[in-house]
Amino acid sequence: AQTVTQSQPEMSVQEAETVTLSCTYDTSENNYYLFWYKQPPSRQMILVIRQEAYKQQNATENRFSVNFQKAAKSFSLKISDSQLGDTAMYFCAFRPQGGSEKLVFGKGMKLTVNP
């Protein structure tokens, strides 16, 4: 069974600084997707970034980028130029490619951006 681990339950960062959120996962699959979702106080789950395991290039979306290390089964999220609106719970998630749509989530990490 796949598992996703987010070892840091909580972090804080100053506005405009850079922060990295860690995520590791365990799977025997070779093809899969990895995601970072953001959940602000509004409760809405928002996709931040996705990574296909077959792609060697790390995904980037504006201020958000990932460091995907397939051999180490590591998938960290870097947030550059942190903004107050980045304050949220962040969830790392895994989904095998093909087959069912089962998303496996980590337990989440609370990020606070301080002014």
44 part of the interface to another protein, by CB under 8 A = yes
Convert residues 53-82 into a mask of x (bound to another protein by CB under 8 A) and - (unbound): ------------------------------
95 part of the interface to another protein, by CB under 8 A = yes
The answer to whether 38 and 89 have CB atoms below 8 angstroms apart is yes
Among 8, 60, 97, 114, binds another protein (CB under 8 A): 97
3 part of the interface to another protein, by CB under 8 A = no
What does the block give as tokens for 5?
């681990």
**Closer to another protein by Cβ: residue 7 or 14:** 7
Among 25, 106, 111, 113, binds another protein (CB under 8 A): 106
Q: Write out the residues near another protein by the rule CB under 8 A.
A: 4, 9, 33, 35, 37, 43-45, 47, 50, 52, 91, 95, 97, 100-108
